[in-house]
Structure 1
Amino acid sequence: MSSPDQQVGRPTGPPPAEPETPAQLDLAAGSPAATREQWRELVAGVLRKAGRDDLPDPVEDALRATVATGVTVAPLYTAEDAGDLPTAAGVPGSPPFVRGARAGSAEAGVPAGWDVRQRHADPDVAGTREAIAADLENGVTSLWLVLGDGAIPVEALGEVLTDVYLDLAPVTLQGGAPAAEAFLDLVAGRTDLAPGGCLGLDPLGTGDLAGLARRAPAGWRTVAVDGTVFADAGGSVVEELGCAVAAGVAALRALTAGGLGVDEAFGQLEFRLSAGVDQFTTIAALRAARRLWNRVGEASGVAAEHRAMRQHAVTSSVMVTRHGAAVNMLRKTVAGFAAGVGGADVVTVQPFDAALGLPDAFARRIARNTQNLLLEEASVGRVLDPAGGSWYVEALTESIAQAAWAWFTEVERAGGLPAALASGLVGERLAAVWATRQERVAHRTDAITGVTEFPDAAEVLPERRPAPPPRTSAGLPRVRAAERFEALRDAVQAHEPQPAVYLATLGPVARHTARAGFASNLFAAGGLRTPSGDGATGFAEARTTVACICGTDRDYAESAAALAAELRAAGATHVWLAGTADVAGVDGHLSAGCDALAVLTTVLDQLEVRP
């Protein structure tokens, strides 16, 4: 009989030694190190195959994308791009505050996360009270009240706040000196107000800032420096940050002229900044803003412990859409995430239907639950500066800070923000930036999901009560990226019968599907129906006078000219072609990168639909 060690399947001899645990896990062990030059050679090869022969040096400049005025991002970042920037950013809670204005943890008395602030502007006092109660019972930790000018009546402020425990929930006001005076009268003599509130005074439009600052409750701020008005007028983060810092400096001048010390004046300001759907630009912009304001404090002789910028991030109004409004939920989730990662002290996620009018209860619930999810489930607020150390984020933070500081100093050389607004310097710059952005939207380089891409042409807009008129600053406009496309869709949907473009397909389904889908998507961005058929066979049933031929270049060479003639014989007054082929009888072309807005405007004119 064999021994157990000699049985089949049993190893003989001593057991193998336990493998050593490496002191450091090197995931690239045994693989040759890749270099930047190797990467460049591979990229150049791909670009040449795509027809790009005249390549820049370095080649990655061919793939750079603009994210703000004077700020571009590269396709690759390594440690050499960041340099010593992560070290220069300091530590959370210390100058230059790039990594955050706060440091510590719940154990150290500093709670994780941020202040969840909800905005209310409904003039229906009873409805506002009910909405406020629902917010505070379901995750909101502070209130933003818009008063006057069609919003909450100033005289109703006391009634609106009847059920609010002001010792637990701080309030930020927006309504100028009358709103601030009404609130101060309401809470006169109280010493138990929760810290973190703000009287919300405009640094450019309020007289006695210093006097009101002296009356502000302990732990409250007096001035809301609203950078969002510059973003809402079409500016990039560079214009927004530069103008916001200039507005902050104007407030410091007013407060110190009124007798406040510069350290005390610094503590009277809260900055309201926009959070957009480009998450990395938003993250970097919030980090850069704190660095800029710290530099102002250094130059003003402010003690280090008073130089941190208090930031209130608000999801952008420019990015929201009226059509495809449900997609705004996704945009605002990304923007809210970016605001938290960027280190904002306070975050407001605007309801997804804000562009339609006053939000309903469901939209307010989704807005606050977006933040509840980010804080409670995603734990975004439990890590200080989670983007810190990323070569991309550090380099982008530096680029935005440099560009915004250059714009700020240009505004200061013009005499400060009030003078720069009066002279038209700010307005002209914002208009130029917006015009460039609108070109990218028109060509669908900047896609707007649900509007310029993947629209639902049959959508019926939900009805909402009108919102109060938007607050403007120094005559600046308010814009939205989707508004020109939405104006075309509104005109089409108001027209009876609903206009259409007939898609005349050529060749087998597998050959024409790609271009038919492209054409259908483009025409739907203007609200147009796109019935289709093989050649001209379905044209009469489409009840239209405009057609678009869809197929491959081979099909076009063989039979597109004949089909164009057949369509005209059937009653088509205008014939388009999906592609760039030169075909007799075709009036216009659709192709990737074309000016979709101009195409749609022309087609509506051909269909005699007037926006």
Structure 2
Amino acid sequence: MTVLPDDGLSLAAEFPDATHEQWQHLVAGVLRKSGKEVSAAEAEEALSTALEDGLRARPLYTAHDDTSASGLPGFAPFVRGGRPEGNTLGGWDVRQPHSRSDSAAVLADLENGVTSLWLTVGGEAGIPVDALPATLEGVYLDLAPVVLDAGAEVEAAARSLFEIYAARGVAADAVRGNLGADPLGHEARTGASFGFAPVAALAKRCAEEYPGLRALTVDALPYHEAGGSAAQELACSLATGVAYLRELTAAGLSVEQALGQLEFRYAASADQFLTIAKFRAARRLWARVAEVCGAPEAGAQVQHAVTSPVMMTRRDPWVNMLRTTIATLAAGVGGADAVTVLPFDHALGLPDAFARRIARNTSTILVEESHLARVIDPAGGSWYVERLTDELAHAAWEFFQEIERGGGQAAALGSRLVQDRIAATWAARSARIAERREPVTGVSEFPFLAEQPVVREPLPAQPSGGLPRVRRDEAFEELRARSDAFLARTGARPKVFLAALGPAAAHSARLTFAANLFQAGGVEPVTEGSFEDSGTTEVCVCSSDKLYAEQADETVAALRAAGASHVALAGRPGPYADVDSYVYAGCDAVAVLSATLDRMGVS
């Protein structure tokens, strides 16, 4: 046994070590006091939380949950980082997106903390290819990497960028960035495909002439934005990357050259631990691919993190600043090489200068003031994160193998394997959101009906035809839009009267719950005065179970006599006469609110 020196700071040194089994026994005792009969062995499972992909977050992790697959930073399997120094040399690359030809906005970003540009080019939603020179006017292209997202117009966009480099005398070995070719990502987004031959030619040119420029992006955002889980996002990116390796090596590139032409793009969400694990697992998985291909030392995955569009809300959009801050922190801790923070008004339209400033300063604060980049792999050694990384990697690998057995990513898109699997995942998640088991702050929880809308210039039409784009707020947003239309038409919102029974101690909790729930659908709760004066025929009775047993039937009868057409009760269904519906934690709030608006004639 190792004897540690006495430094005067011993913690619980006089007490014997507690065992895992003792902890389980104590937890089981507490659960039994709360009315839940479980054995000691079942206690831990009772407190576990189900995640997507069959994963579970347990209440306690110990050294027994540690894994031996992490390795060292900068070495295979690259779990702890693709580079030995991590992001300690200046932090991650702060990458700002632009979809309009606005050189002033581009320069403002670069002068205020942005270190690379992500340009959407071509199509209705992007910068015209012939406007690239004007968009990059004044940009020092040997200092600021440019990443393109040009879809099917990648060949023309790349040609234009090469011409700009040549015209400005930028040395080939000083060029950094990515041409953004992603045929399978484009197919996932639009349903349309384009040939790989031009992409292979671009990759060859980059490998031979521009050592710091990559040709391909493996964009996993289409799968995330369609509602896919973390494991599905990782699996689809792996299958796409493997498909590109096959094409590039068939075109004459070595395995090492082909690996060097790929960059991976993933979403970072406000679920910070899952995001940290996702980026770490992605590097481990890609390292395994490189190992199988015979080039393990070239398997360091280059990662671009983008704060999740799915989590962004249109109501109370200011909360998005908090969401993107957490997501950025998670991406940085997870070891992403570049991070794009979407502006808080992203879901509303084109961002203004203030939104872009806040977005870029999010990274600056985390790097410069919070010193987040001073530590390599800050989450390394956390038993929870290490275990979650391992479990997520195995879940993603399983789906990746299924895709490969089905013929690869292109075949999986053609057979709708990917679409159907993601749709099932989103349907299950939508149910959790509707039941408010996955709360959306400012939308399904703590909505603010008097909020003044934030108005932005609409975004141009986004590419469509393939996988859908979803948002967590969409079901509640539809309800709120109905309420807004009713307000514009009548001058008032639909209302529900909350009838409180008994003293405040008896009714406050359920009154607050009911008010919060109804406001999530744009229904204004009335808590003052009498039902007769409320101007509505909808009522929700709020009190304790004890008072319900004593007064519910009498109260409901009185409300009916006063003209109530629908009487709900805040609480679990019970033996109460003439109650039309019940609202309670875990009920389908979207269905309840939609039915309420229907009864009120709110279309």
Report the TM range for the smaller structure's normalisation: over 0.9
Confirm whether residue 601 of structure 1 aligns to residue 594 of structure 2.
yes
Q: 1:501 aligns with which of 489, 496, 500?
A: 496
Q: 2:313 aligns with which of 321, 324, 327?
A: 321
The one-letter amino acid of 2:150's match is G
Aligned-partner Cα distance in 1 for 2:230–2:509: 37
Confirm whether residue 443 of structure 1 aligns to residue 435 of structure 2.
yes
Aligned to 1:180: 158
Aligned to 1:152: 127
Q: 1:221 aligns with which of 214, 217, 220?
A: 214
Q: 2:80 aligns with which of 99, 102, 125?
A: 99
Q: Please give the secondary structure, in 2, of the residue aligned with 1:325.
A: coil
CA contact (8 A) 2:142 2:176 kept: no
Confirm whether residue 39 of structure 1 aligns to residue 23 of structure 2.
yes
Aligned to 2:336: 344
The one-letter amino acid of 1:523's match is F
**Deviation string, structure 1 residues 72-109 (Cα, Å, up to 9, x no partner):** 11111000111xx2x43111000000000011389xxx
Aligned-partner Cα distance in 1 for 2:236–2:324: 24
Aligned to 2:137: 162
Change (3 A) 1:255 1:56: farther
Unaligned 5+ residue runs, structure 1?
1-19
Change (3 A) 1:596 1:256: same
Deviates more, 1:329-338 or 1:250-259: 250-259
Aligned-partner Cα distance in 1 for 2:46–2:550: 37
- Report the Cα offset of residue 54 of structure 1: 5.0
The one-letter amino acid of 1:142's match is S
Aligned-partner Cα distance in 1 for 2:8–2:379: 24
How is 1:185-334 mapped onto 2 (pairs within 5 angstroms)?
Answer: 185-188=163-166, 190-191=170-171, 194-204=174-184, 205-207=194-196, 208-216=198-206, 217-304=210-297, 306-334=298-326
Aligned to 2:405: 413
The one-letter amino acid of 2:567's match is V
Confirm whether residue 453 of structure 1 aligns to residue 445 of structure 2.
yes
Q: 1:62 aligns with which of 39, 42, 46?
A: 46
Q: 1:78 aligns with which of 33, 58, 62?
A: 62
Aligned-partner Cα distance in 2 for 1:588–1:567: 15
The one-letter amino acid of 2:563's match is G
Query: Which structure has the larger Rg over C-alpha atoms?
Result: 1
Aligned-partner Cα distance in 2 for 1:434–1:486: 17
The one-letter amino acid of 1:286's match is F
Change (3 A) 1:522 1:299: same
Q: 1:515 aligns with which of 497, 510, 519?
A: 510
Aligned-partner Cα distance in 1 for 2:84–2:539: 63
Aligned to 1:559: 551
Confirm whether residue 527 of structure 1 aligns to residue 522 of structure 2.
yes
Q: 1:484 aligns with which of 475, 480, 490?
A: 475
CA contact (8 A) 2:332 2:372 kept: yes
CA contact (8 A) 1:457 1:524 kept: yes
Aligned to 2:92: 114
- Report the Cα offset of residue 451 of structure 1: 0.7
Unaligned 5+ residue runs, structure 2?
185-193
Q: What TM-score do you get using the length of structure 2 for normalisation?
A: 0.92
**Deviation string, structure 1 residues 450-495 (Cα, Å, up to 9, x no partner):** 11111112222211111133345x7111111111011101111110
Aligned to 2:12: 28
Confirm whether residue 434 of structure 1 aligns to residue 426 of structure 2.
yes
Aligned-partner Cα distance in 1 for 2:287–2:241: 12
- Report the Cα offset of residue 582 of structure 1: 2.6
Change (3 A) 1:179 1:105: closer
Aligned to 2:114: 140
Aligned-partner Cα distance in 2 for 1:554–1:203: 63
- Report the Cα offset of residue 214 of structure 1: 2.6
Aligned-partner Cα distance in 1 for 2:150–2:534: 54
Aligned-partner Cα distance in 1 for 2:426–2:401: 21
CA contact (8 A) 1:55 1:62 kept: no
Aligned-partner Cα distance in 2 for 1:63–1:196: 48
CA contact (8 A) 1:173 1:198 kept: yes
The one-letter amino acid of 2:163's match is D
Aligned to 1:469: 461
Aligned-partner Cα distance in 2 for 1:56–1:239: 34
CA contact (8 A) 1:574 1:587 kept: yes
Change (3 A) 1:249 1:136: same
Aligned-partner Cα distance in 1 for 2:496–2:40: 42
How many residues are paired up? 576
What's the Cα RMSD here?
1.8
The one-letter amino acid of 1:455's match is P
Change (3 A) 1:332 1:227: same
Q: Please give the secondary structure, in 1, of the residue aligned with 2:290.
A: helix
- Report the Cα offset of residue 608 of structure 1: 1.4
- Report the Cα offset of residue 547 of structure 1: 0.7
The one-letter amino acid of 2:469's match is R
Q: Please give the secondary structure, in 1, of the residue aligned with 2:533.
A: helix
Change (3 A) 1:526 1:191: same
- Report the Cα offset of residue 183 of structure 1: 1.5
CA contact (8 A) 1:169 1:194 kept: no
- Report the Cα offset of residue 371 of structure 1: 0.5
Runs of 4+ in 1 over 4 A off after TM superposition: 192-195
- Report the Cα offset of residue 23 of structure 1: 5.2
Aligned to 2:190: none
The one-letter amino acid of 1:186's match is I
Deviates more, 1:289-298 or 1:130-139: 130-139
**Deviation string, structure 1 residues 106-129 (Cα, Å, up to 9, x no partner):** 9xxx7241100011113xx3xx21
Deviates more, 1:432-441 or 1:539-548: 539-548
CA contact (8 A) 2:267 2:306 kept: yes
Q: Please give the secondary structure, in 2, of the residue aligned with 1:549.
A: strand
Change (3 A) 1:557 1:198: same
Aligned-partner Cα distance in 2 for 1:298–1:530: 61
- Report the Cα offset of residue 597 of structure 1: 1.1
CA contact (8 A) 1:203 1:225 kept: no
Change (3 A) 1:266 1:105: closer
Q: Please give the secondary structure, in 2, of the residue aligned with 1:439.
A: helix
